């Protein structure tokens, strides 16, 4: 007999079925034993009676979270026993056989609650148990639906999903890199990508014109509230476009996504309003303002574009100019002398998407002329030799015919947390790290063996 999911028993009345899953609950009513059997689709009520003596005897031993297999016949429940809160609430399975696959110790916490009342350290240490919680299961299913929707939306518009490397080169792009020592090339290191920035630009040089990726990104930042050292973004790059083309695509994507997957929510203003960085600072003293009148209404979505960011910002501690977004952002002038002499007044083709007071995405048109890119790096204090060493591959690629291009990336974890009304992004990630970047379940980061250190030509400085 082939195993089916619990939700399928609604259409199997008077038929023999096989179900497998976890014991969610057990209730003894006189001589009759009831078990709530849970699988990935839901819950089915299983009934054990003394008529099946061996099966009934085994059922008496069952405890919460044991993994079992049951065969039996599906019957309609008596009217008084109907449970309107369950998809399978009108039927039950009268057990014939019972098999125990594995037993379970008493769980360290209750998984029948929402889970917010449990310490996060304990939840993350036993994350595989925490994920049995209905709320988290729904969150991850919603995550899958959102990502599938985004893929379908973009592919219908001619975008190609292309994976880019995880082992790459350390370059100055804003945050600190995670670095990976090379065993084969002693003293040299790979870096994990802060974003696929240079690769997606090189894909435009390659002529793909419309690229996207559900990309993993890595930043070795100090603990900063609701951040993760690794996160997921929807990464998009396009050729032969202007700023308005990207903003229009973004608006269509999120409007369609909300209407299809979150119809209970209301978008406050359509089309999405646009506000310059200067206006946002003057009116809200923020570059990610929440423009809702009622900040407590979680079902209202206030999307907002912030545009016309400054190209450069002064780093007092480093006594130099730095790019506000990243050095590949195209300034709103290509006058080399103006960029060099008045960096403080140069605006960029940079834009952010804000939702309910959170930045959920950002992007820019990119520099595609080498002389402009080299000038930007010089303003930021990089010497010509350093520019060639760090970015020579990109500069050389641009000598073989590069189209005007630009893109945007959206933080999927933050978007999902807002749409699902979760207090932080860890509630929408399967296996998140703590706020200070530890994995309590895997106990990482961890030391490696002396043999591994030797292979990597490394010594630990005590």
Please count the structural domains in the chain.
2
Q: Does position 223 have pLDDT exceeding 80, yes or no?
A: no
Task: Name the pLDDT band for 172 (thresholds 50, 70, 90).
Answer: low
150 and 69 inside one domain: no
Instruction: Enter the pTM of the model.
Output: 0.94
The pLDDT of residue 382 is 84
DSSP secondary structure of 58-95: HHTT--TT-EEEEEEEEEEPPGGG--TTSTTTTEEEEE
Q: Does position 130 have pLDDT exceeding 90, yes or no?
A: yes
The pLDDT of residue 89 is 96
Q: What gap in Å lies between CA 6 and CA 120, rounded to an integer?
A: 31
133 and 83 inside one domain: no
Task: Report in angstroms the alpha-carbon separations of 226 from 138, 218, 222, 286, 436.
Answer: 21, 15, 12, 18, 10
3-state helix, strand, coil in the chain (%, to 5): 30, 30, 40
Q: Does position 149 have pLDDT exceeding 70, yes or no?
A: yes
140 and 256 inside one domain: yes
Mean pLDDT of all residues in 418-444: 96
- Is residue 332 in a domain? yes
The pLDDT of residue 389 is 83
Mean pLDDT of all residues in 120-129: 97
The pLDDT of residue 335 is 94
267 and 225 inside one domain: yes
> What is the percent of the chain with per-residue pLDDT over 90, rounded to a whole number?
89
Report cis status (omega within 30 of 0) of the bond before 393.
Answer: no
Pairing assessment for the beta strands 350-355 and 358-365 based on DSSP bridges: antiparallel
**pLDDT tens digits for range 68-120:** 999 999 999 999 999 999 999 999 999 999 999 999 999 999 999 999 999 99
369 and 424 inside one domain: yes
Q: Does position 222 have pLDDT exceeding 80, yes or no?
A: yes
201 and 286 inside one domain: yes
Quote the Cα angle for 382-388-394, to 5°: 110
Task: Name the pLDDT band for 387 (thresholds 50, 70, 90).
Answer: confident
The pLDDT of residue 250 is 98
188 and 248 inside one domain: yes
> Last residue of some domain: 102, 119, 152?
102
The pLDDT of residue 30 is 84
Mean pLDDT of all residues in 298-326: 92
Q: What gap in Å lies between CA 392 and CA 360, rounded to an integer?
A: 31
Buried residues in 373-382 as b, exposed as e (16+ CB within 10 A): bbbbbbbbeb
78 and 176 inside one domain: no
Q: What gap in Å lies between CA 194 and CA 82, rounded to an integer?
A: 53
83 and 165 inside one domain: no
Q: Does position 173 have pLDDT exceeding 70, yes or no?
A: no
Task: Name the pLDDT band for 391 (thresholds 50, 70, 90).
Answer: confident
- Name the least confident of 115-119, 172-176, 457-461: 172-176
- Is residue 17 in a domain? yes
**pLDDT tens digits for range 354-375:** 999 999 999 999 999 999 999 9
The residue segments making up the domain with residue 212 are 127-450
- Is residue 299 in a domain? yes
Q: Could you tell me which residues are beta bridge partners of residue 157? A: none
Q: Does position 440 have pLDDT exceeding 90, yes or no?
A: yes
- Is residue 119 in a domain? no
Mean pLDDT of all residues in 292-313: 95
The pLDDT of residue 356 is 97
81 and 160 inside one domain: no
Task: Name the pLDDT band for 326 (thresholds 50, 70, 90).
Answer: confident
- Name the least confident of 97-111, 171-185, 294-308: 171-185
Mean pLDDT of all residues in 247-258: 98
Q: What gap in Å lies between CA 462 and CA 457, rounded to an integer?
A: 16
Mean pLDDT of all residues in 227-246: 97
Mean pLDDT of all residues in 183-189: 96
The pLDDT of residue 206 is 98
User: In this structure, are residues 364 and 404 in contact, taking their beta carbons and an 8 Å threshold?
Assistant: no
The pLDDT of residue 174 is 65
Q: What is the mean pLDDT of the chain?
A: 95
Q: Could you tell me which residues are beta bridge partners of residue 190? A: 180
């Amino acid at each position: 007999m082939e195993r089916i999911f619990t939700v399928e028993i609604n259409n199997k009345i008077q038929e023999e079925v096989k179900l497998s899953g976890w014991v969610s609950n057990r209730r003894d009513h006189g001589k009759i034993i009831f078990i709530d059997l849970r699988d990935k689709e839901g819950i089915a009520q299983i009934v054990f009676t003394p008529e099946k003596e061996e099966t009934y005897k085994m059922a008496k031993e069952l405890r919460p979270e044991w993994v079992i297999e049951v065969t039996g016949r599906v019957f309609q429940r008596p009217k008084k026993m109907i449970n309107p809160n369950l998809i399978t609430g009108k039927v039950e399975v009268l057990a014939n056989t019972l098999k125990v696959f594995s037993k379970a110790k008493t769980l360290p916490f209750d998984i029948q609650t929402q889970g917010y009342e449990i310490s996060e350290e304990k939840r993350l240490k036993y994350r595989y148990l925490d994920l049995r919680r209905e709320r988290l299961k729904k969150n991850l299913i919603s995550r899958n639906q959102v990502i599938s929707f985004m893929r379908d939306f973009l592919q219908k518009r001619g975008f190609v999903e292309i994976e880019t490397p995880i082992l790459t080169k350390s370059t100055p792009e804003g945050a600190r890199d995670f670095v990976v020592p090379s065993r084969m090339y002693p003293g040299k290191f790979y870096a994990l990508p802060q974003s696929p920035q240079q690769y997606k630009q090189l894909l435009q040089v390659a002529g793909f014109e419309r690229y996207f990726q559900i990309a993993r990104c890595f930043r070795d930042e100090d603990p900063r509230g609701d951040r993760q050292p690794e996160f997921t973004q929807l990464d998009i790059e396009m050729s032969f476009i202007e700023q308005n083309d990207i903003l229009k695509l973004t608006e269509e994507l999120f409007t369609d996504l909300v209407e299809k997957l979150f119809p209970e929510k209301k978008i406050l203003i359509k089309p999405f309003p646009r506000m310059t960085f200067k206006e946002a600072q003057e009116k809200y003293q923020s570059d990610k303002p929440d423009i809702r009148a009622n900040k407590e209404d979680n079902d209202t979505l206030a999307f907002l574009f912030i545009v016309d960011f400054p190209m450069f910002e002064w780093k007092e501690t480093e006594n130099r100019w730095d790019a506000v977004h990243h050095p590949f952002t195209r300034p709103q002038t290509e006058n080399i002398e103006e960029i060099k002499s008045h960096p403080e007044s140069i605006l960029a083709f940079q834009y952010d998407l804000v939702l309910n007071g959170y930045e959920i995405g950002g992007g820019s048109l990119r520099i595609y002329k080498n002389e402009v890119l080299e000038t930007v790096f010089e303003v930021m204090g990089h010497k010509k030799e350093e520019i060639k060493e760090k970015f020579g591959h990109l500069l050389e690629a641009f000598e073989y015919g590069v189209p005007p291009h630009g893109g945007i990336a959206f933080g999927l974890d933050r978007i999902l947390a807002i749409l699902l009304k979760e207090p932080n992004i860890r509630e929408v990630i399967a296996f998140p790290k703590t706020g200070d970047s530890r994995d309590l379940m895997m106990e990482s980061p961890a030391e490696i063996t002396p043999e591994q250190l030797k292979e990597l030509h490394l010594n630990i400085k005590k």
